[in-house]
């Protein structure tokens, strides 16, 4: 009996990229002998409802075409279900797919991982009763995310560059209380990020070296630096070469609490809520192909 795969497509992901790659992914799965039921979302919020229907339908696995926001919604249902989750990246960031080693620019190669059928389990973070697949951001980076989300121009990743430059003009270091397990740190900082995997923002290695299946949260604190130094640090994040900079502090733990007045946290690129926020680890919560 062939495996039954539920293919969930967010056609709006990546400004229509999800819709463009869906036919090739569908064809690859069918040609490999899999039975495919296709679901198409009309809005991102449909993903959770569809995922719940899929779990109840008796499907053997879910394949989701979308970006980090779409995957975030699917994970809320699929976490701890044991149902294998195939990711076909179609967003602008694709940091969860990057973290689990899925090819980012070849949707057919990503579909091949589902065909092969090999699975592994990965960790998720939990914050404000939501599962987080990548990074919780609180500080300069979350303010940039907020500004970028409110902008209609420019399009694509360059919007974040413009937002970064705009935010730099007025940003000053923030007061934090960061608790990592039993360690409490009171500090001024530019940002604090908590992740299960290494990247956010389309490949910025804010938590460089983080393993998505080690049962630990990785915490990065960037302590006060000049605006110029912060601007110089951001390109280093793409290579992880910021590690070792005297202003960068890295920690690991199973539970983290972030406190900073007036700051809104973002997770998987979406609004999470006002600080304080408690982040915990859910080891081996999600089964993925790869």
One domain for residues 92 and 139 = no
Which has the higher per-residue pLDDT, 41 or 213? Answer: 213
Average pLDDT over the chain, rounded to an integer? 90
One domain for residues 85 and 144 = no
Convert the pLDDT of each residue in 49-105 to its tens digit. 888 888 788 899 999 999 998 899 999 999 999 999 999 999 888 999 999 999 999
Query: What six digits make up the tokens of 275?
Result: 């600080």
Mean pLDDT of 222-239: 84
Domain count, the chain: 2
Residue 290 belongs to some domain of the structure: no
Query: Is the pLDDT confidence value at 139 over 60?
Result: yes
Residue 173 belongs to some domain of the structure: yes
Query: What six digits make up the tokens of 251?
Result: 């920690």
Query: Is the pLDDT confidence value at 13 over 60?
Result: yes
Task: Supply the range of the domain harboring residue 248.
Answer: 134-280
Residue 6, exposed/middle/buried by CB under 10 A (0-12, 13-18, 19+)? buried
Residue 287 belongs to some domain of the structure: no
Residue 124 CA from chain centroid, whole number: 10
Query: Is the pLDDT confidence value at 128 over 90?
Result: yes
One domain for residues 168 and 254 = yes
Amino acid 155: pLDDT: 65
Amino acid 235: pLDDT: 77
Residue 145 belongs to some domain of the structure: yes
Query: Is the pLDDT confidence value at 149 over 80?
Result: no
pLDDT category of residue 1 using cuts at 50, 70 and 90: low
Query: Is the pLDDT confidence value at 17 over 60?
Result: yes
One domain for residues 239 and 276 = yes
Which has the higher per-residue pLDDT, 5 or 55? Answer: 5
CATH number at residue 40: 3.40.50.10330
CATH number at residue 173: 2.60.200.40
One domain for residues 76 and 193 = no
Residue 72, exposed/middle/buried by CB under 10 A (0-12, 13-18, 19+)? buried
pTM of the model: 0.91
Short-list 106, 114, 163, CA closest to 8: 114
Residue 125 belongs to some domain of the structure: no
């Amino acid at each position: 009996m062939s495996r039954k795969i539920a293919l969930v497509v967010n056609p709006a992901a990546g400004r229509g990229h999800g819709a463009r790659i869906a036919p090739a992914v569908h064809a690859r799965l069918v040609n490999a002998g899999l039975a495919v039921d296709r679901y198409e979302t009309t809005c991102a919020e449909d993903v959770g409802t569809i995922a719940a229907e899929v779990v109840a339908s008796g499907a053997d696995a879910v394949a989701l075409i979308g970006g980090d926001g779409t995957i975030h919604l699917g994970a809320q249902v699929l976490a701890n279900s044991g149902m294998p989750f195939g990711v076909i990246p179609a967003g602008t960031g694709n940091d969860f797919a990057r973290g689990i080693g899925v090819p980012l620019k070849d949707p057919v190669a990503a579909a091949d991982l589902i065909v092969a059928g090999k699975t592994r389990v990965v960790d998720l973070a939990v914050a404000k009763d939501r599962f987080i697949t990548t990074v919780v951001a609180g500080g300069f980076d979350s303010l940039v995310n907020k500004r970028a989300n409110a902008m209609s121009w420019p399009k694509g990743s360059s919007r974040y560059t413009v937002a970064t430059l705009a935010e730099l003009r007025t940003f000053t270091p923030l007061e934090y209380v960061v608790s990592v397990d039993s360690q409490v740190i009171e500090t001024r900082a530019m940002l604090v990020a908590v992740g299960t995997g290494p990247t956010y923002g389309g490949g910025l290695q804010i938590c460089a070296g983080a393993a998505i299946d080690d049962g630990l949260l990785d915490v990065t604190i960037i302590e006060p630096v000049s605006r110029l130094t912060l601007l110089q640090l951001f390109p280093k994040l793409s290579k992880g070469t910021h590690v070792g900079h005297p202003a960068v502090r890295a920690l690991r733990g199973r539970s983290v609490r972030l406190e900073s007045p007036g700051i809104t946290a973002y997770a998987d690129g979406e609004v999470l809520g006002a600080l304080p926020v408690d982040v915990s680890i859910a080891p081996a919560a999600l089964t993925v192909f790869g």
